Amino acid sequence: KPFHPTRLQEVLSNKKVFDGTLRSKGFFWMASSWKICGEWAQAGLELSLSPLKPWNSILVDMDLEDEDRDMVEKELKEVAQEPFGDRRQEIVFIGTRNLSEDRVKQALDKVLLTDEEMKGGFDKWQSLDDPVGVLDDEDVMQLVEGDHDHDHEESDDSEDDSEDDSEDSDDDSQEDDDQQAANTSDVGEKRGRDSSDKGSKRHVVARPHNYE
């Protein structure tokens, strides 16, 4: 069952529930989001909830490389339960003696949709108020598609860089040959050139919402 977003926010605001927790991590399913798996990451007093990736149930219908498709299909087969595929809650809590497994479990169980709410289906769930507001199927899918295009651009850039490096290497080699020829009569004087240009690396940093 997915989390009800409003009830999840209420539990996150109750520090007593997680008393004694040093660290918690995993992923979660929010009722208002059908496509995106949420990441739960907490260390000390800071808890971050953020989009992780599309569920494998969504990825399997996307245009994937054969190797990626094999991995997605394998993972999906291991955990999938119809009609929700691999959507589920999987969070691990680590803490002191003050951490109560029963207290946390009971609190989070109450956050799950009720049997009556489950009957509404996603068409009704997506209209739920979402004060947590970190998972948006439409926006995140655009980012996923944009990242796919970005990978192609990086690949093209890498090829261009390789060609440039190859040309530079050829030029350097020719210059070295010319230099050696010019300095044949003066072996003691040699001039070198450092042509080790470092390519820049691009990366994307996601800044999730924090809840203390």
Q: Could you give the CA distance from residue 112 to residue 89 in angstroms, rounded to a whole number? A: 10
Give the per-residue pLDDT at 45. Answer: 86
Q: Which helix (H) or strand (E) holds 167?
A: helix 137-182
Q: Which SS3 state, helix, strand or coil, does residue 8 take?
A: helix
3-state secondary structure 65-128: CHHHHHHHHHHHHHHCCCCCCCCCCEEEEEECCCCCHHHHHHHHHHHECCHHHHCCHHHHHCCC
Give the per-residue pLDDT at 163. Answer: 55
Give the per-residue pLDDT at 61. Answer: 86
The encoded tokens of residue 50 equal: 């953020």
Closest CA to 53 of 64, 67, 43: 64
Look at phi and psi of residue 91 and say left if phi exceeds 0, alpha if psi is from -120 to 50, else beta: beta
Instruction: List the chain pLDDT tens, one digit each, 212 residues.
Output: 999 999 999 999 998 999 999 999 999 999 999 999 999 999 988 999 999 989 999 988 888 888 888 998 999 999 989 899 999 999 999 999 999 999 999 999 999 999 999 999 998 999 999 999 888 888 656 656 655 555 555 555 555 555 555 555 555 555 555 544 434 333 333 323 333 333 322 222 233 333 33
